[in-house]
Every structure is written in structure tokens, then in C-alpha cells.
Amino acid sequence: MNLYEGIYERQSIRRYRMEGIDTKIINNILKYASQLESLSGNCRTGFRILAWQNIKKHRMGVFSVKAPYYLVLFCDSTEEAMLNAGYLLGQLDLYMVSRGLGTCFFHGAKKLCAGENGMSPMMALAFGKAEPLYGRSIRRTRRLPFSELCIVKEEIGKEEKAMLEAARLAPSSFNSQPWRFVAYDGRIHLFCKREGWAFSGRQGLHYLNMGIVLAYLFVAAEEFWYSPEAVRVENILEKQLKRNEYVVTVRFK
Ligand SMILES: Cc1cc2nc3c(=O)[nH]c(=O)nc-3n(C[C@H](O)[C@H](O)[C@H](O)COP(=O)(O)O)c2cc1C
């Protein structure tokens, strides 16, 4: 299975076999993480894998997920760094899925460990072997329909549509799916819905979500042999939008 196929396979796994994984697999995950390219040169990141034995379980919080391992991503606390964190973790999650592992994003990374090199533990991915019957017995979490998420300003090709369809399936905190897409002139403009709690005190999660959907767009674009790049378009940035916040534009080379 490759990363693109992983998009159609994955779902959050919250019940794991509490057993170890081959060290080779753990090392491959860290190697894959270290080779990922950041969205911009300004973003520092670090990764660490923690085993269940090394975690202070009593501090994990309400939305905790019990898993044999957690991959923790460290970064600065800026919007740009969090967008990048989501972008990297979105790919790492699909990498693990493509290797047959179960995963679940966990936003309580700060409860798992302290920061390092002046960076905060921003987000974690719980992972391990899924309980065999569990994965098959749970129903997939629904997503909003294409028509609610995408504005298509002109006829788009099959491949661009497939990229948007893949992005529609991206996971988000509380399944909030804050993304909105405008496909126009061979580019996809990405917006974030400005709504209620999403903008009050949860901005961090919000940028992580947008980073994840960006990763999905990139993975799908690469599946069709495009070279995507993320840019900020000045005249959209200047627009005052009531309901949405402009995040980034994906164009293809
Ligand atoms: C940024 C982010 C943070 C998340 N945090 C948690 C969490 O702390 N605990 C949890 O059980 N699930 C968490 N999730 C998983 C979401 O609830 C899940 O992805 C969403 O409901 C969609 O379900 P699916 O992944 O099965 O498609 C998080 C997901 C994202 C993207």
C-alpha cells in the first residue's frame, strides 16, 4: 500500500494490542520523519518515539488514547510552525498506515513529555498494532459532502477532482473538517472556516488540521505525477473574508 492508498484505508484506531513492534519498523518511522521536507526553511521540528512504559499515564487527560507507542512532534508555537507540523504528521500518519499500523492523532502531546531544544511537544500520533477485530467492527467517521467543501470556479479535470476528494477524507480534531477549497485557474486555494470554538482558543489545533489537509493534497498530487507547491497569494491575503480565513494556495508544476 502506498501513501495515497492509505488515505482510503485509514481510520482512527483507539484499541491496540499492547505489545512491542520490531525495532526495524520503529527506526524506519524515524528515518522517514527525518527525511520529510518542511513547508518552509523557517520551521524547526523534532521527533521522538515514546513507549507506553515511559508515559505518565495519570496525566493523559480526557481524550487520551492508550497505545503501545506515541510519536511526538516538537516545534515552535507559531501558526506557520503548526501548519508545518500538521503537514509533516499527515504524511507520517499515512506512512504508518501504509505499513499496516493503526494510528490515532492525540492532541495531548504536552502531557506525554517535556519540550526539547526550546520547542514544545505540539502533537502526538498514537500507534501500534490494532486490536484485530476492532478495526473491522467500527464504522468510518463521516465527512462533509464535496459540494459543501469545494467551490469549483471552472471545469476541473479528473485528477484535480481526485486530489480534492482525497483532501475531503483528511482527519481533523473532533472531525471538525474546517477546510474549504476554491479550485480555480489550475490552483487550489485553501481556506479555514471561521466558526465558533474553532477560533476561540483552539487556533493551534486549527493550523494542525489545515497542515494535515495540505499533506493529503500533496500526496494525491504526487500520485498523479504533479509537483505541488504551497504559496501565499498576496491579493487573497489582503481580502477581508467574513466566514473564512485564507491559509495557502497549492499550485502544480
Ligand atoms: C489535530 C487532531 C487532533 C486529534 N486529537 C485527538 C485526541 O486527542 N484524542 C482522540 O481520541 N482523537 C483525536 N483525533 C482524532 C479525530 O477525532 C479523528 O481523526 C476524527 O474524528 C475523524 O475520524 P477518523 O480519523 O476515524 O476518520 C485528533 C485528530 C486530529 C487531526
Confidence (pLDDT) at 198: 46
Confidence (pLDDT) at 126: 97
Reported as a single tens digit per residue, the pLDDT across 31-87 is: 999 999 999 888 999 999 999 988 877 677 777 899 999 999 999 999 999 999 999
Phi, psi of 125 (to 5 degrees): -120, 115
Q: Which residues of the chain, if any, have pLDDT below 70?
A: 58, 133-138, 195-204
**Positive or negative: CA dihedral 220, 239, 231, 244:** negative
- Closest approach atom of ligand 1 to CA 174: 17
Portion of the chain with pLDDT greater than 70, in percent? 93
- Pinpoint the alpha helices (H) of 107-224: 109-112, 132-137, 146-149, 158-168, 203-223
Does pTM surpass 0.85? yes
Task: Identify the CA nearest to 251 among candidates 176, 160, 171.
Answer: 160
Confidence (pLDDT) at 199: 46
Task: Indicate the helix (H) or strand (E) that contains 148.
Answer: helix 146-149
Q: How far, in Å, are 178, 209, 236 from residue 244 at the CA level?
A: 9, 15, 11
Q: Which domains does the chain have, with CATH numbers?
A: 3-136 (3.40.109.10), 146-252 (3.40.109.30)
Calculate how far, in angstroms, residue 38's C-alpha sits from the geometric centre of ligand 1. Answer: 22
What is the biggest distance separating any 2 CA atoms in the chain, rounded to whole angstroms?
54
Confidence (pLDDT) at 14: 92
The CA angle 219-223-229, to the nearest 5 degrees, is 50
First to last CA, the chain: 26
List residues near ligand 1 (CB under 6 A).
Answer: 11-12, 14, 63, 65, 104-108, 141, 171-175, 205, 208-209, 212
- Closest approach atom of ligand 1 to CA 138: 26
In three-state secondary structure terms, 93 is: helix
